[in-house]
Chain A
Amino acid sequence: MSHIHMFFNFIRANCKRLLHYLPSMFVSLLLLLLLTGTAGFYLSRHLYKENVFSAISIGYYLPQDDNLDLNQLGIGMLQDLEGMEETVQLVQVNSVEEGYNMLASHEILYLIIVPEQFFSGIMDSTNVPLDIVVYDNSSISSYIINELFMSYAGLLGTAQAGIYSGLDTTRAHEFTPEQIRELSNRVNFVYLDRVMNKTNYMKTIQAEDAGSVTFTQHYAAFAIILSLCFLAFLLIPYLQGTGNGICECMKLYHLNRGHILAANTLHTFLALYILFLPCYIGISIWMGHANLNGLLTIIPALLLIALLIAGIATFSRSTFSANICLLFVVLVLAYCGGGLLPDVLLPKVIQQIRPYLPGTYVMQIFCHALY
């Protein structure tokens, strides 16, 4: 029997053995996917910690003048602005003294004292000055709120400039009072729309869900990679049982460890490919479309994983050392390759060496094949 014939016999025999291992591998894959998938999903949703900045309390005093409705309307409009809703909590005080007491006890950061005729003054361009008192004007919070107020003052001032210049121009060109009123109302309405309806001109996108793949998709792909890699805990005894058992016999036919490695890589690849298929189908159902090219483009990544598992299994002395070695190598490659954490969140040093590591390409190939 030639050594080539013997080599193919060896492969055929191992393929038959592999069939017996498959059911337990499917169960193990399912359990591993459950573990890594749950951890990945949880991570993808909680990767960013909430910032320490929270809503700041600001007190305001409204004068008891005959423009109460207008004052309430003005404050209501201020409260409706998105930036105010999420950054500030407005608290009405009944008197200026009460406001100062709340400032002193740090219950509020700012106190806005609205003067009489303030909101009506905005309409008729008298612009009565507004007093804003702050107990600490050097903290980051006071700067943020100051910035917010400066923006609102800027918006209001710009809108006033537009409305006044519209009125001046139409009056200078002898428009009728009705026409002037109608144009002024229209300008008011359009400016209000542009300032208040920000959501009409802006869309908010969660950065985690932007990019080529979302964080959830990233972790789903990574859970599959990790589960396939850690199936090696089942594959290694199978691969070592064959390699060590008939190693001496194979030497008679001039077959060495290199041949065993080749055969082991082939079997591992076959096992991984078969186990990849249900993952691929699952992801295709989840995504609502199947990337058929993925079944071909995944081959290099699975070959790389198979080579790693088969190499460790063939050249390590015991199952224990092979398992521990694989656990360590896979976790290091997974971390540096941008699997455990998306690459943007890795330390700068790791980001620099990342393009030279196989883990990076395995991750990219999986994402490309699955999505």
Chain B
Amino acid sequence: MNRLIVAWKRILHRKLYWCMLGVLLILTGIYALLPAKSQSTEIRVAVYLEDTSAYTTQFKEELDASASLYQFYYVDASTDVIRDVQAGDAECGFVLPDGFFSGYIAGSGEPKVSLYETSASTLSSAICETFFHYIFKVASPQILVDTIDDAALSEELKSRMQAYMNSDTIFRMSSVTDGAYDYKENTYRIQLPIYECTCLLVLFASLFSLMLFLQDQERGIYIALSGKRRYGILCTGLLAGILPIYGIGMLCNGITYGTATLLQVTLVSLLAYLLSLVLSVFIKKSRTLAKWIPVLLLITIVYFFVNYIL
């Protein structure tokens, strides 16, 4: 026990160690103090209208006047559409290229509307139906005129079609939803990587303790001791390095995630302890360990980063 207290005193003299404890406490403090945020489930769709024809103006008017669930908004460039979709600000995005309506009416299929989506855009095909409905609505009178192909009848065809579209003769559907849904707000807490930080710092603390032991050994402090006692000092040193981080880490994880990650933190701490013991068999110089510590930390950071993001 005395040996453990001495090891604690030594390690707690290190500013770096206090920094590690501080990081965990600050992260947990931020998590606990920040209010839960609201996230709207509003389904936004970015639209860039490059086509400058009269059809586009009419299309924009139709889209603006529609009572669609989706919030179509206009941007100034196709790069803005890509950016908003990539950032998740828009569920998906459409770019209507110059000359699209002429191609659509003629049936040439060139140029095409670009639909930008990500693997998270599961509604893009449903949104696409709404978008195309308005394209078809705007283009259909001219498609009819071009198909009949009689210049003398074009005005009559268009006026008759307009009359039908305003009448109740054609197929119509009344909305089956009653307006109770008003873009429900989801509340969520900001996710901070406290579990990942705890695991990383536990590993670092154990490697740091091992390095202190190796430095002491190089200075010849343990030269008079037997191998068994030296091993005992190493074990105590590692324990002294890991325990404060483990204790504070458990507290922080408890505040943040409840009991969900406590077992994992304990397991990672045990693994870090064992890894340091194994490394002590192969690495005898502190300079060698100094080279390996960043590599081990890098691998751990990459692992936890990928895990955290996904």
Contacts and interface: CB of A to CB of B under 8 A. Distances in A.
Contacts of A341: 309
Interface in B70-100: 70, 79, 82-83, 85-88, 93
Q: Interface size bucket, A side?
A: 35 or more
B177 A138 contact: yes
Contact of A152 (B16, B129, B147): B129
A16 interface: no
Contact of B68 (A147, A161, A206): A147
A43 B122 contact: no
A247 interface: no
Contact of A202 (B112, B143, B157, B173): B112
Nearest to B165: A161
B181 A140 contact: yes
Contacts of B104: 194, 201
Contact of A157 (B171, B177, B290): B171
Contacts of B161: 161-162, 165
Nearest to A148: B126
A207 B178 contact: no
Contact of B177 (A142, A158, A203, A205): A142
A170 interface: yes
A50 B119 contact: yes
Contacts of A87: 123, 125-126
A154 interface: yes
A191 B140 contact: yes
A268 interface: no
Nearest to A331: B301
Given A207-B116, A345-B86, A43 B309 contact: yes
Nearest to A45: B119
B109 interface: yes
A93 interface: no
A43 B141 CA distance: 48
B113 interface: yes
B295 interface: yes
Contact of B125 (A39, A43, A85): A85
Contacts of B140: 158-159, 161-162, 191, 194
Contacts of B119: 48, 50, 206, 208
B171 A187 contact: no
A169 B178 contact: no
Contacts of A210: 82, 86, 116
A51 B144 contact: no
Nearest to B105: A194
Interface stretch (B131-139, B257-265, B274-282): B131-139
A352 to B, nearest CB: 14
Nearest to A190: B147
A186 interface: yes
B52 interface: no
Given A198-B132, A200-B109, A344 B87 contact: yes
A135 to B, nearest CB: 11
B9 interface: no
Contacts of A158: 133, 136-137, 140, 165, 170
Interface stretch (A7-15, A282-290, A319-327): A319-327
Nearest to B183: A140
A371 B103 CA distance: 33
Contact of B160 (A46, A169, A186, A345): A169
B86 A211 contact: yes
Contact of B181 (A139, A166, A331): A139
Contacts, number: 266
B229 interface: no
B176 A345 contact: no
A173 B287 contact: no
Contacts of A147: 68-70, 126, 130
A137 B178 contact: yes
B126 A144 contact: yes
Contacts of A137: 176-178, 180
A110 B172 CA distance: 18
B173 A149 contact: yes
Nearest to A340: B305
A323 B290 contact: yes
Given A85-B125, A169-B153, A206-B118, A233 B160 contact: no
A98 interface: no
A345 B87 contact: yes
B114 A154 contact: no
Contacts of B227: none
Contacts of A358: none
Contacts of A156: 170-171
A86 interface: yes
A122 B171 contact: yes
Interface of A: 35-36, 39, 42-43, 46-51, 53-54, 81-83, 85-87, 110, 122, 125, 127, 130, 132, 134, 137-140, 142-144, 146-162, 164-166, 168-170, 172-173, 183, 186-187, 190-191, 193-195, 198, 200-208, 210-211, 230, 233-234, 237, 318-320, 323-324, 326-327, 331, 340-342, 344-345
23 contacts: A51-B123, A85-B125, A127-B171, A144-B69, A150-B173, A158-B136, A160-B164, A161-B140, A161-B170, A164-B170, A170-B153, A183-B148, A187-B144, A190-B147, A202-B128, A207-B85, A208-B86, A230-B295, A230-B298, A234-B291, A237-B287, A319-B290, A323-B293
